[in-house]
Structure formats: structure tokens, C-alpha cells
Amino acid sequence: FTVSEEPPARQWLATQVSGAGATFAIPPNDPNWAAPPAQVEFLTDVELVQMMPHMHLRGKDMTYHVIFPDGRDQIVLSVPKYDFNWQIAYQAATPIKIPKGSRLRVEAHYNNSTSNKFNPDPNRRVYPGRMTWEEMFNPFFGVIVEKDTDPARVMKLLFGTTISDGA
């Protein structure tokens, strides 16, 4: 452990964003329910360095897209077989440079059917909650910004999303 004599030149911000204000309801017996996507727009240049999908037992897949100002769509993380027992934070091999005006869009699907062996009850409608038998759509991520950047001015929510500081 080394203590620097100089303040850091940049800061790391960890947060998460959820689709539809996290007020979804997964229908009973649906093997491929799509959550309303979560989206933020970056108000400054950032470097995306970490992503961590979080769902519960019905989580099926999660995909993180960066949509650049020119319209180009780049998948930066795809977890096609999400497993609640493997809660992994994915570190970018090299920081992903995202210019101001780009969007981060996260999509997820859930399996609330009998084909999901971990599903506690495929016959019930599932709502968001902290308990494992409820569900979550929490795409966590970490970005690096310049040290003097106001964290409140790094991104804005796009319609139907909520954001928190990852606490």
C-alpha cells in the first residue's frame, strides 16, 4: 500500500442504472421477458472501466451497449447466460473511451418459467425487491473522469430510468 504525495489526476465513479424506474412486473410463465432498457447519456467524456450485471434467480441475460453520437452501437459486455451464483464484476481490459453525448444502454431478459430450474414459483407475477425470490435489474458500472468533475454532471438519465450511487 503506497500513499501518494500528489492528489489523483482522475476520479472513479461507481453507480448503477435501472430500467423503467425499477417498477417492472414479470408475467407468470414467461421464458424470455424483456425488461424496459436502462439508459444514461454522458455529459462529459468518460472511460468505462467496470461493469457488473445484477439480477436474482430469474435473470437470464444482460447486455451493455455504448451508442456513440454518430449512432454507432458497440456491445461492450454481453452476459448471455446470467447465473445468480456468479456475481462477477467485469473489468475492461483497457478503459473504453466514451465521448460526451454517448449513451450507455443496458438490456436484460428474465426467465419466469418452468424451464428455469432456479425459479421458486413460475406461476406468480414477480416484482422488484431485495429478496432473492423477488427480482432486480441493477446494471452496475464504473467510469473514470477528470478529478475536478462534479459527479452530478457526469450523466443524465433518459426516460424511464433510475440511478443510484451503487451503495
Characterise 118 by phi-psi region: left (phi > 0), alpha (psi -120 to 50), beta (else): alpha
Across 92-97, average pLDDT: 96
d(CA 98, CA 104): 9
pLDDT at 16 over 90: no
Place of cell 450523466: 155
> How much is the pTM?
0.90
Give percent above pLDDT 70 in the chain: 92
Instruction: Say what the pLDDT of residue 21 is.
Output: 54
Tens digits of residue pLDDT in 52-68: 999 999 999 999 999 99
Residue 89: how many other CB atoms lie within 10 Å = 13
* pLDDT interval class at 107 (50, 70, 90): very high
Instruction: Say what the pLDDT of residue 145 is.
Output: 96
Tens digits of residue pLDDT in 115-151: 999 999 999 999 999 999 999 999 999 999 999 999 9
Instruction: Say what the pLDDT of residue 65 is.
Output: 98
Instruction: Say what the pLDDT of residue 126 is.
Output: 96
Place of cell 431478459: 109
Instruction: Say what the pLDDT of residue 166 is.
Output: 45
pLDDT at 167 over 50: no
